[in-house]
Structure 1
Amino acid sequence: MKLTAAITLLLLAAAKAHYTFPSIANTADWQYVRVTSNYQSNGPVTDVNSDAIRCYERNPGTGASGVYNVTAGSTLNYNAKASISHPGPMAVYIAKVPAGKTAANWDGKGQVWSKIYQDMPRLGGSMTWPSQGARSIPVTIPRCLQNGEYLLRAEHIALHSASGVGGAQFYISCAQISVSGGSGTWSPKNRVSFPGAYQATHPGIMINIYYPVPTSYTPPGPPVETC
């Protein structure tokens, strides 16, 4: 009984240290963000080659109940619950919903994702991360987007146990948005697919961030696209 209680306490502590990305702006959880498989457990994705690395959906194909209207060029907060408690990089990707699909029913498959946000660590005696401890990440929606519906993918990679293959923890979700007011000149140089964008042994994914302290860091995936 004592062993069972101890294991339960360890599992609860681990769950509290993890997090989800359930909302954007000042909206309710899972109103515009697709419910993720970790919506109760808070557990991460660890296999970069799994379909879960795309949007980590609990019920693929069902979508969220709403599509959030946003103006191109504005800033949209992507919210963590309770906070981003682990060290590592934060990135946000965007993909335009193709003709004949909606943000609620498109699966996001294919080489369609462009990175629009990436933070970087401060280097020195240790690696410190601007997103660690944050409850929301402000993301600028490119002013040059074509009007229409998009999926917005939040991704935080926790690197505290990332010294071996499969040790990095990915916390992911996808929001459904509709963009208006864009100039329509968006022409990204790099588009990637999920899975496919990352390799488990990429030095930005498999890394010991503690010793020896890295003197540089290269995040996985493409560079950030700008207008």
Structure 2
Amino acid sequence: MKSVLALALLGVAQAHYTFPGLIYNGETQEDWTYVRKTTNFNSHGPVQDVTDSQIRCYQLAAGAEGAKTMSVQAGDEVGFRVDPEIQHPGPLSFYLAKAPDGATAETFDGDGAVWFKIYEDAPTFGAQAVTWPNDGLSEVSVALPPCLAEGYYLLRVEHIGLHSAGSEGGAQFYQACAQLHISGGTGAKTFEGVALPGAYKASDPGILINLYNPIPTNYTAPGPAVVSC
């Protein structure tokens, strides 16, 4: 009986995932070196309350908790290792938040209307299922906008598992924040943002959705539109 229970629990754990390792210039850094350690570092479980402060960076503790800052160039591709892989259907997105003057990526808590979306993927609608291009990925990445103003930023990755999203509170949020210093941009652009929590409601159509009956023919991701240079 114990062995059966252990296998069942293992199966549940393996259905969840984290984003522990930053990827830059083709190199994957050690877990939690440039990514703030998330509360689910062991359980891999999700956040399901969109009003919870953990919807922001899912931090285990306040502050950087020892995470360092990676220097990158605007326009470059930056990514995250997924542990073990994305295992649920749903959208992938990336957000940035620029630290205010006098703060660094390590001291910035991401509070306020500071988060702007730089990427979201889109699903394919079939007769049998809705599918996303992120399904099964063990690495995810995004090109930083080339026009960004130089400064310290938090880069937030978010994946929403929609397999149980047919009732409020069923959607599963997996996210993490990496600490960056971005320079070398072709401009000095800053963007208006949204607050996290605050940008999402449990009743948003991209969060409260039944993927199976009937199978949707359209989908609108939650949160703001993707910014452009």
Corresponding residue for 2:45? 43
2:167 corresponds to which of 164, 167, 175: 164
Distance 1:223 1:76 in 2: 20
Q: How does 1:127-142 map to 2 (within 5 A)?
A: 127-142=130-145
Aligned residues: 224
> What code does the residue aligned with 2:36 have?
R
Please say if residues 150 and 188 of structure 2, whose CA atoms lie closer than 8 Å, have aligned partners that are also in contact: no
Q: 2:120 aligns with which of 118, 121, 129?
A: 118
Question: Structure 1: which 4+ aligned runs deviate by more than 6 Å?
Answer: none
Post-superposition shift, 1:187? Answer: 3.7
The secondary structure found in structure 2 opposite 1:12 is: helix
Unpaired runs of 5+ in structure 2? none
Q: Does the CA contact (< 8 Å) of 2:82 and 2:137 recur in 1?
A: yes
Show the counterpart of 2:150: 147
| Cα deviation 1:54-89 (Å, max 9, x = unaligned) | 000001123443101111011112221111011100
TM-score normalised by structure 2 residue count: 0.94
Q: Distance in 1 between matches of 2:189 and 2:151?
A: 12
| Structure 1 contact 162–206 (Cα < 8 Å) conserved | yes
The CA distance in 2 between the partners of 1:11 and 1:191, in whole Å, is 39
Q: Which residue of 1 aligns with 2:224?
A: 222
Shift of 1:133: 0.3
Establish whether residue 84 from structure 1 lines up as the match of residue 86 from structure 2.
yes
Identity %: 49
1:42-64 per-position Cα deviation (integer Å, ceiling 9, x unaligned):
00000000000000000112344
TM-score of the aligned structures, taking structure 1 as reference length: 0.95
**How big is the shift at 1:195?**
0.4
Contact kept in structure 2, 1:64 and 1:176, CA below 8 Å = no
Tell me the SS of whatever aligns to 1:77.
strand
Give the SS at the match of 2:12.
helix
| Equivalent in the alignment of 1:185 | 188
1:155-191 CA-partner distances (Å, limit 9, x unpaired): 0000001100110000010000110101333243x51
SS of the aligned residue for 1:166 comes to coil
